Amino acid sequence: KAGVTQTPRYLIKTRGQQVTLSCSPISGHRSVSWYQQTPGQGLQFLFEYFSETQRNKGNFPGRFSGRQFSNSRSEMNVSTLELGDSALYLCASSVGQSYNEQFFGPGTRLTVL
């Protein structure tokens, strides 16, 4: 069974640009959660999608948004990038809601210059 895949793995952008990250969950998993990981703040929850609906949202500005498609694949978008958005963005999938065991992808390393 294939694991969670994320694309791209690495990305370099400049301030003010926008970026879209993609996550394909494990087959059969309906929940996808997104996290931001930085050395200073550690892992922080961004949002969770379940059956194409956002179920939970963390404390991030509106520049961070996401969506989930009918095949459970999810995208995360960050608009008007800031230097502080440089981070490892991880997605995790689970069968049901996020309180079930989550399986993480390898992450997308975003660098904002």
Tell me the window of 14-22, 62-70, 73-81, 105-113 that interacts with another protein (CB under 8 A).
Answer: 105-113
Total interface residues for another protein by CB under 8 A: 23
Residue 58 as a binder of another protein (CB under 8 A): the answer is: yes
How far apart CA 113 and CA 110 sit, in angstroms, is 10
- Residue 24: name the closest of 111, 85, 104, 109 by CA: 104
Cis, peptide link before residue 8, omega less than 30° from 0: yes
Residue type for position 71: N
In sequence order, what DSSP letters do the residues of 12-34 get, joined into one string? EE-TT--EEEEEEPPTT--EEEE
Residue 107 as a binder of another protein (CB under 8 A): the answer is: yes
Site track for another protein across 10-49, x = CB under 8 A: -----------------------x-x------xxxx--x-
For another protein, the binding residues (CB under 8 A) are: 4, 33, 35, 42-45, 48, 55-56, 58, 90, 92, 97-99, 101-107
